[in-house]
C-alpha cells in the first residue's frame, strides 16, 4: 500500500513482492506456538482475517524494517494476546490480503508480483502438509497495485477486485473451483497502485469498495501537513451486488484508503478506520462518523489491516506506518495492538 507504492522504495531490490492467491487448509494442524513471544514485531502490509476453526484472528506476512523483505511469519490473536505460529513450508508474502471462505471453511490469500517483475495473480493451496500451486487468476497484465478480496456470504463467492492503469477495474469471483471474470455495465472508482478497502456487508448483502483515484502521474504528495494521494479525487464508496456497481453518495470518510475495514456482526454494521484514526460506520447507504471515548495512536497511521473477532465482539488492528513528516527518517512503526468494542479503542 502506501509504503509499497513509494517510487523510491519500488526501486529497492530487497522489496520484492512474493505474492499469490493462497488457500490455507488445515492451518491449525501443522502450527506450533513459539514460547516467550508477546507480540509480533513492527510490520505493515500484512494480511489479517478471523479464522473460525482457530477461534482467532490470523496475521500473515508483511514488510518489516529495516530490510523490507516479505515475511512468512504467521501469528494468531486469541483475545488475550498474540502467539507465534510456524507452518512448515510457509511461503513469504507481503502486500497481500485475506478473506475467509465460510462455505468451504478455507482462508484465501490473494496477491501478485511487482509490476516490474510481471507475472499473474497466482493460486496456491495448503492442505495441512504441503503447499501446491493451482491455476493462476488470468488478470490482464496492465492490472497493478493492491488486489482486494472479500467473501460474499449471500452468494457464496470469494470476490477479487483489481484495477488497471488504463482506467478500468475487474471483478473476479471464485466459486470454489475456478475464477470467473464478471463483467458489469457500471465501472467503480479505479484503485490501481493506490490501495483501497473492500469488505462484504451482510446487512446490505453487498460488497463495499472504498477507494480514491489519482489524476497525477505521481503516487503520493506531501501538502505541508500530511501525505495523501497525488492529485487525488477524494474518497468514493461503491457497492457490488454480483451484477453491477452502484455509488454511495453523501459525506465520505477522508484519508480512508490506507486505513482498515471490517464488519461488526454483533452490531451489524461496517466499520472503517481512516489514517487520521477516525472511526466511521456505514449504516444503510450513509457513512456516520463515530465518537469513541479514545482513538488509536499515533495519528496519522496506515498500511495495516483490520478484522472483526465475532467470538469476542472486538475489532482489531496491529502496527502500521506513521508518516507525521515529509522526511522518511522520521516515520514511525508502532508495535501496538488496538481493539474496538463499539465504545472506545483500547491498546492491548
What pLDDT digit, counting tens, does each position of 291-303 carry?
999 999 999 999 9
Residue 10 scores a pLDDT above 80: no
Scanning the structure block, which residue is given the C-alpha cell 471490517? 262
End-to-end CA distance of the chain: 25
Q: Higher model confidence: residue 138 or residue 318?
A: 318
Per-chain mean pLDDT for the chain: 83
Q: Higher model confidence: residue 339 or residue 68?
A: 339
Residue 6 scores a pLDDT above 60: no
State the pLDDT at residue 138: 83
Long-range contacts of 243-249 (CB under 8 A, 24+ apart): 243/182, 243/184, 244/184, 244/185, 244/186, 245/184, 245/186, 245/187, 245/188, 245/209, 246/186, 247/188, 248/282, 248/285, 248/286, 248/287, 249/285
pTM for this predicted structure: 0.90
Q: Higher model confidence: residue 257 or residue 166?
A: 257
Scanning the structure block, which residue is given the C-alpha cell 493460486? 123
10 Å CB burial of residue 100 (0-12, 13-18, 19+) is buried
* Domain extents in the chain: 3-347
Q: Higher model confidence: residue 122 or residue 64?
A: 64
What pLDDT digit, counting tens, does each position of 147-181 carry?
899 999 999 999 999 887 666 888 999 888 888 99
Domain 3-347 has CATH 3.40.50.2300: no
Amino acid at each position: 500500500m502506501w509504503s509499497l507504492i513509494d517510487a523510491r522504495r519500488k526501486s529497492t531490490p530487497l522489496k520484492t513482492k512474493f505474492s499469490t492467491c493462497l488457500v490455507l487448509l488445515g492451518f491449525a494442524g501443522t502450527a506450533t506456538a513459539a514460547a516467550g513471544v508477546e507480540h509480533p514485531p513492527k510490520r505493515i502490509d500484512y494480511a489479517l482475517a478471523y479464522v473460525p476453526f482457530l477461534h482467532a484472528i490470523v496475521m500473515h506476512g508483511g514488510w518489516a524494517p529495516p530490510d523490507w523483505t516479505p515475511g512468512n511469519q504467521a501469528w494468531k490473536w486469541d483475545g488475550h494476546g498474540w502467539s507465534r505460529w510456524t507452518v512448515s513450508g510457509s511461503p513469504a508474502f507481503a502486500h497481500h490480503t485475506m478473506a475467509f471462505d465460510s462455505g468451504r471453511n478455507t482462508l484465501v490469500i490473494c496477491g501478485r508480483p511487482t509490476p516490474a517483475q510481471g507475472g499473474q495473480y497466482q493460486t496456491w493451496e495448503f492442505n495441512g502438509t504441503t503447499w501446491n500451486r493451482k491455476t493462476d487468476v488470468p488478470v490482464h497484465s496492465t492490472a497493478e497495485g493492491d488486489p482486494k478480496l472479500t467473501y460474499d456470504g449471500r452468494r457464496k463467492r470469494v470476490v477479487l477486485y483489481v484495477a488497471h492503469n488504463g482506467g478500468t477495474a475487474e471483478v473476479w469471483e471464485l466459486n470454489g473451483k475456478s475464477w470467473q471474470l464478471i463483467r458489469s455495465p457500471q465501472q467503480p472508482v479505479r484503485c490501481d497502485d493506490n490501495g483501497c478497502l473492500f469488505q462484504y456487508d451482510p446487512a446490505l448483502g453487498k460488497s463495499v469498495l472504498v477507494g480514491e483515484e489519482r489524476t497525477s502521474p505521481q503516487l503520493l504528495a506531501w501538502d505541508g501537513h500530511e501525505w495523501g494521494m497525488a492529485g487525488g479525487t477524494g474518497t468514493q464508496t461503491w457497492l457490488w451486488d454480483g451484477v453491477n456497481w452502484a455509488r454511495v453518495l453523501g459525506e465520505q470518510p477522508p484519508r480512508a484508503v490506507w486505513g482498515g475495514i471490517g464488519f461488526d456482526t454483533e452490531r451489524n454494521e461496517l466499520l472503517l478506520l481512516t489514517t487520521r484514526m477516525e472511526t466511521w460506520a456505514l449504516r444503510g447507504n450513509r457513512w456516520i462518523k463515530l465518537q469513541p471515548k479514545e482513538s488509536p495512536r499515533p495519528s496519522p497511521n496506515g498500511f495495516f489491516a483490520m478484522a472483526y473477532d465475532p467470538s469476542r465482539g472486538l475489532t482489531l488492528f496491529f502496527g502500521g506506518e506513521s508518516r507525521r513528516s515529509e522526511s522518511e527518517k522520521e516515520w514511525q512503526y508502532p508495535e501496538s495492538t488496538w481493539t474496538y468494542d463499539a465504545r472506545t479503542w483500547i491498546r492491548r
